[in-house]
Structure 1
Amino acid sequence: MTLTVQILDSGRLAAVRRTGLLDTGSEEAFDRLTRLAATLLGTPYAFVTIVDDTRSFWKSCIGVDGPERQNTVQESFCQYVVNSGAELIVPDTRADPLTADNPSNDSMGVAAWAGFPVRSPDGHVLGTFCAVDTVTRSWTPHDIEVLKTLAQAAAGEIALREAADEARAAAARAEQLADTLQQSLLPPMLPEIPGVEVAVRYRRATAGTADVYGDFYDVFPSVRDAWAVVVGDVAGKGPQAAKVTALARYTLRAAAARCTTPSANLLTLNAALLGWYTDDPRFLTAIHATLRTHPDGISVRVSCGGHDPALIRRADGRIQSLGRHGLVLGWRSEPTLHDQRTVLRRGDSLVMFTDGVTEARRAGDRELFGPERLREVIAGTAGGSAEKLAEAIDEAVTTFTGGHASDDTAILVLHV
């Protein structure tokens, strides 16, 4: 028998492949329906079939024993449903001209057959939901309504699975796009600062992974052989937060190309935020440090705009804070900002971070990681390495949250 255009239709075959049901095992979601059909109709056989261009695969089959769960398209009665796109009700398969010569009349003892198309969400006939009897019978209106309803239920199960697959694929694409966008807002690599090791740990939030958050960091040269180091956090998430993050990074880079005073550069950013015409204004917090070589090591000048101060781990293990808590940026035209200075000597480390660290929550009791626990981790990490200290903080936060962070975390460590 020559296969019809309907069976060989490329769109239909693509829809069949999208189901992912070919050559898969039995599943209760479909077996439940075929058991119900056999019980209500009193038939020895009931099937959910998926038909490609060569075979009728029995995704669910009641009454068939053994591993063979398919027959060829030419042997199947499903071919007639695929060809017509409509139900087929046959009281006597040997007397009906359409089915009289079908090999399954002898090989399976088919005497009566009734089935409805199982359609994909876009309307293609994937296969059938059918009941088979080994004696001729008059299919009643009740029988036909049962089969129609169960065929729709089988199609609904397939549609739900396809929708779930599409949702997962869309989520994966959105997450990939968000990750790409997030990475575009961070420096691709860290520069080398003479006499200073620089290490960074950045983790995206595990909740809502398709969102772009506003945590950022940057390290870049300033004027007069100085270096600028920035860590910041934009309020909120999504595309608007990403825009503000980009604005902040490039505004601070431009400001630091003319000025080494951190508070002055943060004021420039504040003015840019206030002058940025948008229906969705955003605030941000930032800590800005300027580094210069000093006879005793590295001179550091820090200003905080609503951000947590930096923490210093001295070579002897003492922990000190650096930076007075000024106002958030983008709120008032003249925020109060201060600069603080210190000298980092050989073996000292400076730690800058976002509130994704201190406000990380433990999954069980929602306890905060907190600044004191951060100080303990820093104080307890000896060894004199920016990488080691950044890794210790990152591991401590990840362990504390069980790997389920509700916010991005940025950790930047400078070690002389």
Structure 2
Amino acid sequence: MTATLIDPGAEAARLEALRRYQVLDTPPEGTFDRVVALAARAFGAPIASVTFVEQERVWIKAHRGLAWVEHDLGGDPGLCVSAIRGSNPYVVTDTLAHPEACEHPLVREEPRVRFYAAAPIVTADGHRLGTVNVMDVEPREADEAVLHTLTDLAALVAGQLETRLSARAAVTLERRLRQQAEAERGRLELLTSTLRKVLLPPSPPKVPGLDIATHYHVASADQVGGDFFDVFRLDEDHWAFFLGDVCGKGADAAVVTALARHTLRAAAVYAVDPEAVLANLNMVLMDEFLGADPCYCTVLYGVLTPTGEGVHVKVAGGGHPPAMIVRAEGDVEALRTEGGMLVGLLQEARFAVAETTLRPGDGMLLYTDGLTEARTPAGHMYGEDRLRSLAAGLAGQPAQAVVTRLEETLSAFGPGLTDDTAILSMTVPPIVKRHSR
């Protein structure tokens, strides 16, 4: 393959990127198997695969219809090696009429491929690592719409690689810092400051037509905890938010917290549906902690869409207390995602979705159970009823006013506040009526 590339430096950079994603010589994974199944189904093709092109070979990460082929092939041009030369789908309608493809082993020998179509897997920085491809044993034409599907599947594979890389880097960082802290207690401050930067997002962004405020309290002496939240932009018209609670406290919980926050941000770029984002997080947690003690969390993840009426909210729940919707007139309702399961506990976890629209004066309150399970000075649990009553009294108030009132309430608990607590308040400002003179 090297001889076919104009710039040896670019090829060296591509190979370095391929090694960085650590996908070569790895066992089968469900995500890539599903991509292959979708590709074969979309084309009605008997053969499909996800491949990664190294210097002298092509590694077959997932396949359908190539049971007799080893996991890797030689670096012969004509099929996958040729497909990564460009950024657009690569199609060979009849391999026997193609000067390079006709000499490829898959054409000359079993399965005697006659048709080949592939979309390159392109990283965020432009490196073409491999292909998502389909093959047939008869010549055929490629439909443009189906080629778009192939391109989308290749983008999904690239997104999965980015998610794995981000999650691996975050977990590696947290583990290394934790080991350093355990070996040298004098370096605990380094762990604390670094983890807080990883776990806590900057101040909330400006979302059109929405007022946002947050609160975060860490119960652990390490000053790092298991609650997490974030609000960030997806595109011109959509914003994402999430709030969650990891089982446990301190540095152990913080490792999962960092992984969850980075994974949710990465998955949100490639998955439109909130339910799919939680499914991605569930898969990452299951893969990362396979064989270890379960590391799970509860999460609410949603998408905000400003509209002419206010802000549309679509949220997926994974075992977390429902978001509290506070209407402008003082009514309080729970945005329930009943049936949503804990994230990271079961391989085939299910997540529930709910939708609503926040109109002028309406607000939404997300919180972790550190708030509702806090003990009042009298020793009673604060509970959802007290929280609902407080929220109703703050209907139509700015988000910061809601958070400030909750902070005043929390400060009165003193020793009764024993768990990490996160609060995310969002309010659509009411319409100010101007009085005519």
Which of 382, 397, 400 is residue 410 of structure 2 equivalent to? 397
Query: Residues 204, 277 of structure 1: CA spacing in aligned structure 2 closer, same or farther, 3 A cutoff?
Result: closer
Which residue of the partner structure matches residue 229 of structure 1?
A: 241
Range 267-276 or range 404-413, more displaced: 404-413
How far did 1:211 drift? 5.4
Matches within 5 A, 1:245-324: 245-277=257-289, 279-324=292-337
Q: For the structure 1 residues 331 and 373, does the alpha-carbon distance in structure 2 shift closer, same or farther, using more than 3 Å as the test? A: same
1:338, 1:389 → 2: CA distance? 27
SS of residue in 2 equivalent to 1:275: helix
Deviations 1:233-265 (A, max 9, x none): 111123332121111111111111122321111
The 2-side partners of 1:180 and 1:383 are apart by 37
Aligned to 2:253: 241
* Distance verdict in 2 for CA 1:373–1:264, change over 3 Å: same
List per-residue Cα deviations over 1:252-292 (Å, max 9, x = no partner). Answer: 11111122321111111001111114634311000011100
Report how many residues are paired.
Answer: 243
- 2:387 corresponds to which residue? 374
What pairs up with 1:2-13 in 2 under 5 angstroms? none
Q: Distance in 2 between matches of 1:377 and 1:225?
A: 32
Distance apart, 1:184 and its partner CA: 2.8
Contact 1:214 1:234 in 2 (8 A): yes
Q: Specify whether residues 183 and 363 from structure 1 end up closer, same or farther in structure 2 by C-alpha distance, changes over 3 A only.
A: farther
Flag structure 2 segments of 5+ consecutive residues without an equivalent. 1-183, 429-437
The answer as to 2:397 corresponding to 1:384 is yes
Quote how far apart the aligned CAs of 1:215 are: 0.3
Change (3 A) 1:333 1:403: same
8 Å contact 1:182–1:242 — kept in the other structure?
A: no
**Deviation per residue, 1:316-335 (Å, 9 max, x gap):** 11101113131100111122
SS in 1 for 2:248: strand
Q: In the superposition, relative to structure 1, how do residues 369 and 180 fare at CA in structure 2: closer, same or farther (>3 Å)?
A: farther
- Alpha-carbon RMSD across the aligned residues, in angstroms, is 2.2
For 1:268 and 1:188, the matched residues in 2 are separated by: 24
SS of residue in 1 equivalent to 2:212: strand
Alignment of 1:134-153 (within 5 A): none
Q: Please tell me whether the aligned partners of residues 369 and 397 of structure 1 are also in contact (alpha carbons under 8 angstroms).
A: no
1:193 aligns with 2:207: yes
Residue 340 of structure 1 aligns with an amino acid whose one-letter code is: A
Q: Percent identity?
A: 42
Verify the 8 A CA contact 1:171 1:210 in the aligned structure 2.
no
Map residues 15-414 of structure 1 onto 2, 5 A cutoff: 174=188, 177-178=191-192, 180-205=194-219, 208-210=220-222, 212-223=224-235, 225-277=237-289, 279-325=292-338, 326-365=340-379, 367-399=380-412, 401-402=413-414, 404-414=416-426
Check conservation: 2:327, 2:362, Cα contact below 8 A.
yes
Note if contact 2:363-2:396 (Cα within 8 Å) is conserved in structure 1: no
Which residue identity does 2:266 align to in structure 1? Answer: A
- Cα displacement (A) at 1:175: 6.5
Task: Report SS of the residue matched to 1:396.
Answer: helix
2:327·2:361 contact (CA, 8 Å) conserved in 1?
A: yes
* Structure 1 residue identity aligned to 2:246: V
CA contact (8 A) 2:282 2:347 kept: yes
CA contact (8 A) 1:284 1:329 kept: yes
Q: State the shift of 1:179 in Å.
A: 5.5
| Rounded Cα–Cα distance in structure 1 between residues aligned with 2:193 and 2:419 | 14
Give the counterpart letter for 2:419 in structure 1: D
CA shift, 1:183, in A, is: 4.0
Indicate if the aligned counterparts of 1:178 and 1:210 stay in contact, CA closer than 8 A: yes
Shift in Å, 1:293: 1.6
Gaps of 5+ in 1: 1-169
Shift of 1:382: 4.3
TM-superposed CA distance for 1:409, in Å, is 0.8
Given the two structures, how large is their TM-score scaled by the length of structure 2?
Answer: 0.52
* Contact map agreement 2:222 2:251 (CA 8 A) in 1: no
SS of 2:288's partner is coil
Q: Shift in Å at residue 364 of structure 1? A: 4.5
The residue aligned with 1:12 is none
Question: For the pair shown, which has the larger CA radius of gyration, 1 or 2?
Answer: 1
Residues 374, 179 of structure 1: alpha-carbon distance in 2 compared, 3 angstrom cutoff: farther
Distance (Å, rounded) in 2 between the aligned partners of 1:241 and 1:202? 15
Q: 1:176 to 1:386 in 2, by over 3 A?
A: farther
Q: Which residue identity lines up with residue 360 of structure 1 in the other structure?
A: A
**Is the partner of 1:407 in helix, strand or coil?**
coil
How far apart in 2 are the matches of 1:209 and 1:281?
Answer: 23
Q: What amino acid is aligned across from residue 274 of structure 2 in structure 1?
A: P
Q: Is the 1:303–1:323 Cα contact (8 Å) retained in structure 2?
A: no
